[in-house]
Amino acid sequence: MDVSIRSSGLKDLDLLLKLEQKAFPYFQQSPKRTLDLSLKSTFQQVWIAETFDADGPTPVGSLILYLYKKTIRIFSIVVDPDYQGKGIGNCLLDHVRKLAAEKGAERVSLEAYAEDRKLINWYKKAGFESTELLSDYYEDGKDALRMVWELPQPEGKTRISNVIVVDNPKNWKLELANVEVVSSKEYTSNNERFADRPLRVFNLCNSYKYQSFGYYVSLLASARAHRAIPNVTTIRDFRDLGVIRSIADDIDETIQKSLDKIKESKFVLNVYFGQTVDKSYKALGLSLYQMFESPLFQVHFLKTNRWDIKRIVPLSMNKVPADEQHYIQDFARQYFETKRFPRTKLQNYKYYLAILVNPTEENPPSNKKALKKIEEAADELDIYIEFITKDDYNRLSEFDALFIRETTNVNDYTYQFARKAYAEGLAVIDDPWSILRCSNKIYLHERLKVNNIPTPETFVFYKGMLKEKDLAGLKYPMILKQPDSAFSIGVSKVKDAQEMEESLQRLFKSSDLVIGQEFLPSDFDWRVGVLDNQPLFVCKYFMAKGHWQIYNWKGSKKDQSGEASTLPLYEVPKKVLKAATKAASLMGDGLYGVDLKMLGDKVYVIEVNDNPNIDAGIEDKILGTELYKRIVKSLVTRIEMSRNIERFVSIEPD
């Protein structure tokens, strides 16, 4: 039977739906909306198999593919049951193999219903191997097998993942898999050889002075999207004592403890790949390396009443004492053999995403299951994820993007992480300006007011400018908020002028301005998650039991928060979605959680939050895995826009 395979269009939507309904059990069928998105997506391809006779073409099968950098995933392969056993499935598979070869893919993957042994055996006969059992993949009790067919790869030189750049490679006899030692002249002049990302470049040149070879190694590494260690920012920071002391505050306890027994007022410590020759300073050396990531550097300490860092000097090989140079080879070997980025990850992933978390946070914005789902979604999109903590501040330059998944605050390290990541050119959610804008209720009130977005009646109280008669004339109860309140912390309800005065005096101790807001009682608040100025999820957050807020931090752990109900967008009043997206757009284009109340037919915006909750089983109830993919895709788009902006700008022809 002659079979022709053509690319599909929007006109084929009903045909695709009919084929799936005819060929698949209900739990494997794609909703019409999913098929519509596949037809419109630039990330997917949809193909139709047809036979021909005197009456014209007859559709007999379909194919939906997800295109990743190294993998082509078969999302759906369908053969009309009336035409099975005639080789149509083999034709569709051959088409996939051809596409994979043309695009340089390394594998083709798919998921098959685990109980359909006939189908699985057919895939095995075609060269696919089972790699993983996916429990409850389609629905409870309906498992899937992930199957993969590896394309034969041409023989060639192994891609380099780590490059050590020195002025004279002859002095280095380091022989490690995936590590190459090259000269500074070769790296700076030979762009083609080192252009294939991703690389980590360890700059051990003899000088980092401005416009020296060492300076240009780190500068060009940044331009080539390589990971320069140290990068140009670190080199600059070494010269700024204020920056050094500010960063070193986080390890002050380690400094004092490690140097406590030294009698002299001055002390110098050399740190080589995070290690020290004298093991008694091992903890201090590692802490310093985590703060000031550079392969080789020297720290000068000075003691007056306590030990302080006087200066930090990056070291080159010619400045390392002769009797310590042999340690460097050993330390480098240990470093590359134990570093957390596995070689396979460096070779196969397109981009690297850091997710900032606090393992000890009691109420993080994403639970562990949600973080796992983000990781799985990213892996499917060819993005490598590493969960980092506040100790990884100076590793940010190793990544392409940062996603903050711990509670943000302008006055703590989460904001500093966002600032540094943005300065390093990473795509960032939450970006620093979103943290600044959303975390201050004064800014938020003014921004919403000047853009005519309805809010509960709001007052700004100024320290030293209140009179008793002003308070007596207000309508009670009223809600008082610290300007930087979050998660209902720093928010209180006052029932009369006396409580108002007492609460204001307490709040004025930490802020010269305080927000007062009309109390609008309701059974629940709307929460609209907005990403890239589009609604992502919508929840109803019900009030905590016996309380007027969603969170009751004084209640028992069981009753601290109310129930939540997640809704599809089509069930949400259009007024709610419109108000939420408009309010979020005033903060930026990142990820926000907009809280609203709807009383009668009027919608009020309560506040816009950066860093909204995304918990598995709540906010992802409707979209499931797709919610996490959209977040990862948003970060990928931001990475690519920053690196290749012309692809995203339409230019009218002359």
Beta bridge partners of 67: 72
Alpha helices (runs of H) in 175-319, residue ranges in sequence order: 184-189, 213-223, 232-237, 241-248, 252-258, 282-291
Considering 309-313, 520-524, 582-586, the range whose residues carry the highest mean pLDDT is 582-586
Partners of 279 in the beta sheet?
A: none
State the Cα–Cα distance between residues 350 and 633, nearest whole angstrom.
12
- Quote the pLDDT of residue 483: 65
pLDDT at 509 over 90: no
Domains located in the chain, CATH noted: 4-150 (3.40.630.30), 162-338 (no CATH), 343-437 (3.40.50.20), 457-518 (3.30.1490.20)
Mean pLDDT of all residues in 448-473: 80
Q: List the structure tokens of 223.
A: 């331009």
Helix or strand or coil: residue 375? Answer: helix
Does 157 score more than 50 pLDDT? no
Cis ω before 432 (30° cut-off from 0):
no
Residue 344 has pLDDT above 50, yes or no: no
Confidence band of 103 (pLDDT split at 50, 70, 90): confident
Residue 372 confidence (pLDDT) above 90? yes
Q: What mean pLDDT is reported for the chain?
A: 82
**Among candidates 112, 4, 98, 108, which has minimal Cα distance to 58?**
4
Q: Which residue has the higher pLDDT, 376 or 180?
A: 376
pLDDT at position 486: 54
pLDDT reported for residue 129? 87
Question: What per-residue confidence (pLDDT) applies to 3?
Answer: 85
Q: Report whether the peptide linkage leading into residue 477 is cis, meaning its omega lies within 30 degrees of zero.
A: yes
Distances (CA, A) of 478 to 475, 482, 501: 7, 13, 12
Per-residue CA distances from 431 to 87, 401, 484 (Å)? 53, 11, 17
* Contact call for residues 52 and 60 (beta carbons, < 8 A): no
Q: What is the pLDDT of residues 72-81, one digit of tens each?
A: 899 999 999 9
Q: What is the rounded CA–CA span in Å between residue 485 and residue 584?
A: 18
pTM recorded for the entire structure = 0.49
Mean pLDDT of all residues in 159-172? 76
Give the residues across from 44 on adjacent strands.
Answer: 66
Confidence of residue 616 (pLDDT cuts 50, 70, 90): very high
Mean of the pLDDT values across residues 217-241? 73
Q: Please state at what angle helix 625-643 crosses helix 368-380, rounded to 10 degrees.
A: 60
Mean pLDDT of 511-526: 83
Residue 46 has pLDDT above 90, yes or no: yes
CB 205 within 8 A of CB 169: no
Structure-block tokens of residue 330: 């050993």
Closest Cα to residue 165, out of 224, 243, 244?
Answer: 224
For residue 256, give the 3-state DSSP assignment: helix
Mean predicted confidence (pLDDT) in 323-330: 83
User: What confidence tier does 321 reach under pLDDT thresholds 50, 70, 90?
Assistant: confident
